[in-house]
Structure 1
């Protein structure tokens, strides 16, 4: 029988709980955090003696902005931070501590995780809430997933650049151990199956890009054991595409109108049962080609029955500009 409560103090503990859950075991009913997650950065250079420059602060401001968007998505079904109350913003505020003697920074996001766990009550089962909050801790404050970001940017840049000298400099960058690589691969597969976590992962990616970009002003930045010099930080963030402009808004929807009069596009008007959000969606071509899917949408409209839709949308500050239906399932079926 699972313990009723557990205190998570390390990243290893977080991964052990994830692996236990994925193996079919029950998680504790209550989980709290103490001293984790808290990303740690050490910045070296003449401007970084117990102080922060505006450019470095910009990186942390981006992280706060993305955390606000992530919480808005969990609360409202839309990544629109303008809908958050002042109380929400105050409770979500990350804390950046500058240690005495040098610019060693720690980022505490306990407020976000506590607020997220409270918001998900009634929207998920107790087990789903626990695994979502632990995973969110790893996405935003996990050392291994920050290293995964750096490793990803390294591989992208190696594929983009032509100068052998630049490649050699990048190739010297070592990030993840074999054990970390294995854990992160498992975690990445799990994240992709969970729309809220998948969205957070993209938002955290953009926050990390802005943070690493801000480290260009330092002679060296040490991120929990990974050392980046100014040139490396600049190289890693060159041409970094923003990922958070796309968002998964999977959920239970009612089909309000099916429009197949345009031979170039099959359009569907849908309404989210929980949030009442209305969208006009295109339907993915490959999805239409699969047997019965077009009919399933039309049937759902005729019978006025809710269906589970997977929707990929593009947004600007939470306003949905375009949406594409990826697949449809009966609500009785548990989405994969």
Structure 2
């Protein structure tokens, strides 16, 4: 007997399911996306009459690149788009429609989400597949997520800049509603529990940064009631650091060696029990200060028992260059 497919057609519906999941309630066994997510931007200016400039297209190319990397991470375990086949790249392509009048740009990500849903089958249980797809949809295609990004950049820049006039101009941008603040709390909780979504959120951040930079060439850019002029777009993207150069590689690991001979650095060699990959990790200083954590790592080595580690790693296309252990938990308390 075929399962009923629940169609998610709005952002409200998506967040309703996410809230339901976080409350411990079950999700539908199968979902599809109908007409959503679809980000819409309105660009005005002399060069934006049913057309886009190459500089603006760079932003959408970056979005496509980060979607490709996100799928590669889900499919191959590394955010390396070079691993994608020609067929996969074609299936993942976003659709950018340019409307009449001032350039109204609609970005459809149906191909990415459909492909992601298909790829996760067999790798996760039905509930995990559903929440991962919903999370990816709101992270990359949600208006609330874009507004949250804008608000984050606003707060960062207000703390960085000294010019009072620049600060006053930034303060004129009102982004977050009460509803969107609640959605921020839901997404923060979900992302903290799901390393794959955490990594997608970092990739989405970089894509949004490039999109925002590309809007500097327009007289104005609008998204769901938020209007950005070139000065605002330029200010918001100043000094923005790429986040996708780091990734969460949480999992079940065996501790192969603990090295505490260096008073400045506590190092641990670990091996992932699923992939058999070995890493040399530094343990976060704050983590070491917490009661019992240093001893827990040493005990795991002595007793040769696996533990669940949360690890933040710097990488180039999945090639790990450095790794930091954030926390350790018993496998029984945090199953893989």
TM-score normalised over the length of structure 1? 0.92
Distance 1:285 1:232, change over 3 A: closer
Could you tell me how far 1:57 is from its partner in structure 2? 0.8
1:217 maps to: 217
Shift of 1:227: 1.1
Which stretches of structure 1, 4 residues or more, deviate above 4 A after TM superposition? none
CA-to-aligned-CA distance 1:200-223 (integer Å, 9 cap, x gap): 111111111110110000011111
Partner residue in 2 for 1:171:
171
Instruction: Determine the structure 2 residue equivalent to 1:72.
Output: 72
- Evaluate the alpha carbon distance shift between residue 151 and residue 285 of structure 1 in structure 2; reply closer, same or farther with a 3 A threshold: closer
| Map of 1:293 onto structure 2 | 293
Conservation of the 8 A alpha-carbon contact between 2:250 and 2:308: yes
Using the TM superposition, give the Cα deviation of residue 291 of structure 1 relative to its aligned residue in structure 2, in angstroms. Answer: 4.2
Question: Cα deviation per residue 1:261-291 (whole Å; 9 max; x = unaligned)?
Answer: 4343232222223333322111223333444
Quote the residue 1:279 is aligned against: 279
Q: Following the alignment from structure 1 to structure 2, what is the Cα–Cα distance between the partners of residues 188 and 210?
A: 22
Map 1:57-206; keep pairs closer than 5 Å: 57-206=57-206
Range with greater deviation from structure 2 (115-124 or 199-208): 115-124
Structure 2 residue aligned with 1:259? 259
How far residue 82 of structure 1 moved from its aligned partner, in angstroms, is 2.3
Question: Measured at CA, do residues 293 and 154 of structure 1 come closer, stay the same or move farther in structure 2, by a change above 3 Å?
Answer: closer
Paired residue for 1:305?
305
Structure 2 gap ranges (5+): none
TM-score scaled to structure 2, two decimals? 0.92
- Residues 75 and 299 from structure 1, CA distance in 2 versus in 1: closer, same or farther, beyond 3 angstroms? farther
Matched with 1:10 is 10
Shift of 1:31: 0.5
Structure 1: segments with no counterpart, 5+ residues: none
- 1:302, CA displacement in angstroms? 4.4
Which shifted more, 255-264 or 216-225?
Answer: 255-264
Q: Aligned pairs, how many?
A: 334
Separation (CA, whole Å) in 2 of partners of 1:275 and 1:77: 10
